[in-house]
Structure 1
Amino acid sequence: MIKVVAIVGPTAVGKSALGLKLAQKLNGEIISGDSMQIYRRLDIGTAKDSPAELAAVPHHLVDICDADQRYTVKDFQAKAKTIITDLSTAKKVSLVVGGTGFYLSSLVNNLNLGGKKDDDLYRQELVQLEQAGRLDQLQTILKQEDPLAYQQIDIENSRRLIRAIEVKRSTGKSITEQNNGQKWADFYLVGLTDDRPKLYQRINARVDKMVEMGLLDEAKYVYDHRESFPQAKNGIGYKELFPYFEGQASLDDCLDEIKKNSRHFAKRQFTYFRNQMDVDWYNISDDKNYQNDIEKNIMKFLGGQND
């Protein structure tokens, strides 16, 4: 069976750096498991690897579409499976790196996402609600049609709401119960975490660094195209700056909002991975040798498949 390594955890914890190091050591290639890094021209706010890092190791599912294109978890699942299968044939290690929990779950649990794509009438109805800012109505629909999913997914994320409603309508089953019963690959999930105060310091420092790198210009680009960027306009690091561009809030207040929302997002990420997936966790502060431990455990998991 194909073996896959995934590196998960909250934002700013160091997943990308570890993935790059492991890929170089293990004859591996990186598959992005981030729902925003797919977009071209959105580099800073999405915390993409630098051009030098992207060149050092082959990366997949980065910069694959424009921000005016809609990209779904079903798209990710299909593309990632193909890439992983091809890499396995080539005797390469697949390292899925990212913090979008539902993306990872779609692969690890082999979710049957069902349904048609963007031309589906149900999707059009739901997307219209999303574009109208009717998050409350999407929440109501999900609560009525799939109360189990309503209790377990991030109901502040319109894309998660739409997908959960779609899956329930097209398959008759809750998205939280989706598993087609056929294990297509064997996954070892490496989870990075840190003490909360230290993680929050890392998040705050990352936002400050993003500003130095030109985050405001990138966010202004998203703001100027917000009507045609259905997913990017809701990304953390962009949407919080819109009041600044409109002259309704100070820059400092908007940056504080980015930091706050990033911290909240990190907490949700950790909760999702801890509760929904079988992850081997490593605290980067408590274990000074965590990278060596991770490498040793990955080699044990791979069992010499690439020798």
Structure 2
Amino acid sequence: MAKIVAIVGPTAVGKTALSIEIAKRFNGEVISGDSMQVYRHLDIGTAKITPDEMAGIPHHLIDICDIHDRYSAAMFKQQANQAITAISGRNHLPLVVGGTGFYLQTLTNNLALGQDHFDAQSARIRQHWHQLAEERGASYIRNCLAKLDPVAEKNIESGNLRRVIRALEVIEKTGRRFSDQPRQESPNDFLLIGLTTDRPVLYDRINRRVDMMVKDGLIDEARWLYDRGGADLPAGKGIGYHEFYPYFAGEYDLDTAIQKVKQDSRHYAKRQLTWFRNKMTVHWFDLVGGRNSPEQINELVQAWLIK
């Protein structure tokens, strides 16, 4: 049985910095638990860690896909488990770090998703829902999911029609809600550390992070993705990108696009907190607000490692 630390929480709350500190202290390697950081060239909008920030700590499941590739929770679970085995084999501590709730739940709760592939049944189901989306609009499809599985619908980011259809496909194929997939006992031992802070403080950090992303070149990065068909790509559905497409098309101004990125990011942070609190057993800490210290987290990790 491998011991794994998972650092979870909403965007802009300091997960990356904490992961580096713990990795240095306990000889760790980081596995990204972010569904967008797998894509090459999408660096600013995904808040991807830079080589300097890595501080020599090995990182896994970052920059492993092209923007035209599909990536799924089933693929993440398989590749993360492979990385855990390799890291543990080197007597290092695996650290899974990220905010994509369903990916992390899939790994820590060992959800039985099966293989994510295009068999005949899957193709028929997906074609059906895509056709309905063209005829009645994406909001109609989302409302269908909300009726069948309101928990899953609330935790899928705005504009991500592919994930909505994927959830509907799983429901139709398994007869179970997407948010309530069967689980098996995990063969590993996870310690889940969650970072949070007061909502106004978090929202202010998110707003300032978006401003910094814009200053660092987010608009050019979003334009690069848009020019390569981003509106129709799985990689192009992420927050920080799809909000700029109407601006590029002349449908509204730049300030409106930036405000939409901030709004979507705040809403996503709220959904992230709801997911982690309702779906996973987490030890919560507030480093931003000063209610807790990194040393308290280090002591928790140390005590857990020697159990």
| Structure 1 length-normalised TM | 0.90
Question: How many residue pairs were aligned?
Answer: 303
**Secondary structure of the residue that 1:281 maps to in structure 2?**
strand
1:153 Cα deviation (Å)? 4.3
What code does the residue aligned with 1:45 have?
Answer: G
User: Which residue number corresponds to residue 57 of structure 2?
Assistant: 57
Q: Which moved more, 1:225-234 or 1:12-21?
A: 225-234
CA distance in 1 between partners of 2:150 and 2:261 (Å): 30
Q: Is 2:101 the counterpart of 1:101?
A: yes
What code does the residue aligned with 1:92 have?
Answer: H
Equivalent residues in 2 for 1:184-195 (5 A)? Answer: 184-195=187-198
User: Which residue number corresponds to residue 161 of structure 1?
Assistant: 164
User: Which residue number corresponds to residue 267 of structure 1?
Assistant: 270
1:9 Cα deviation (Å)? 0.6
CA contact (8 A) 2:194 2:283 kept: yes
- Deviation sequence 1:229-274 (CA, Å, 0-9, x none): 5222221111111222222322222111111111111111111111
Pair 189,122 (structure 1): closer, same or farther in 2 beyond 3 Å: farther
CA contact (8 A) 1:109 1:179 kept: no
- Which of 242, 250, 253 is 1:239 aligned to? 242
Equivalent residues in 2 for 1:1-307 (5 A)? Answer: 1-54=1-54, 56-114=56-114, 116-119=116-119, 120-122=122-124, 124-125=126-127, 128-129=130-131, 132=134, 134-142=137-145, 146-147=148-149, 153-154=155-156, 156=158, 157-226=160-229, 230-287=233-290, 289-303=292-306
CA distance in 2 between partners of 1:246 and 1:183 (Å): 47
CA contact (8 A) 2:152 2:178 kept: no
1:171 Cα deviation (Å)? 3.0
What code does the residue aligned with 1:186 have?
Answer: D
- Deviation sequence 1:95-144 (CA, Å, 0-9, x none): 11100000001001111112541353246426735984942343354356
CA contact (8 A) 1:118 1:124 kept: no
CA contact (8 A) 1:131 1:230 kept: no
1:152 Cα deviation (Å)? 6.2
Pair 285,214 (structure 1): closer, same or farther in 2 beyond 3 Å: closer
CA distance in 2 between partners of 1:54 and 1:134 (Å): 42
- Deviation sequence 1:152-179 (CA, Å, 0-9, x none): 6437443442332233333333233323
CA distance in 2 between partners of 1:265 and 1:51 (Å): 26
Pair 170,255 (structure 1): closer, same or farther in 2 beyond 3 Å: same
CA contact (8 A) 2:7 2:194 kept: yes
Pair 300,209 (structure 1): closer, same or farther in 2 beyond 3 Å: same
**Secondary structure of the residue that 1:219 maps to in structure 2?**
helix
**Secondary structure of the residue that 2:4 maps to in structure 1?**
strand
Identity percentage of aligned residues: 46
CA distance in 1 between partners of 2:132 and 2:232 (Å): 12
- Deviation sequence 1:39-63 (CA, Å, 0-9, x none): 0000000000112224621111100
What code does the residue aligned with 2:47 have?
Answer: A
CA contact (8 A) 2:230 2:237 kept: no
**Secondary structure of the residue that 1:56 maps to in structure 2?**
coil
CA contact (8 A) 1:38 1:65 kept: yes
Pair 178,7 (structure 1): closer, same or farther in 2 beyond 3 Å: same
CA contact (8 A) 1:8 1:191 kept: yes
**Secondary structure of the residue that 2:13 maps to in structure 1?**
coil
